[in-house]
Amino acid sequence: MLENSPTSSHRRRRRVCNGGGLELTLCCDFVLTTPDARWGMPEIDMGITPGWGGCTRMQRFAGRRRTREINLLGYEFSGRQAEEWNLANRVVEREDLEAEVQALTELMLSKSRYAIRRSKHVLHHAADGVLSQAAAFELPIDPPPGRPTRTEASTGSTPSPRKGRG
């Protein structure tokens, strides 16, 4: 799933972000929208229910009451409202959208892939747990390439070569 991808994902919404498109947006790390983009979940008017997180995942961003309003009423809203309701990171004027997306992409590409992968793992898996348990996700399970583990760094030791099996 997009949400579990080790790389960063972003989505831009110029005009319409409805139904499945909105549900995919909920999986992205960064969402940029224009002020007049139309957002919504029209499934109720078609006699169907959302199938990709419009009822479940949306609650984590917009809250239960707002998610009910959006889904049960088929409520359509603007890009500005999407930002206010935590469904978008920021609103960008239509003429500036491509430049903003390019700048964001370049900034993300300048970051450590390892750190992005680890941070995404922690952010995704620790979000719903008890804080004491969730903090364990921040402990590295593998060191970045060329760096010792925390234990090796604190003791000054180096990893011993693996011995043949016997």
Task: List, by residue number, the catalytic residues.
Answer: 23, 43
Q: Are 17 and 42 in contact (CB under 8 A)?
A: no
Distance CA(112)–CA(12), nearest Å, equals 23
Q: What is the 3-state secondary structure (H, E, C) of 40-105?
A: ECCHHHHCCCCCCCCCCHHHHHHCHHHHHHHHHHCCEEEHHHHHHCCCCCEECCHHHHHHHHHHHH
Q: Which two tokens stand for residue 151?
A: 């234990």
The pair phi, psi for residue 79, each rounded to 5°, is -60, -35
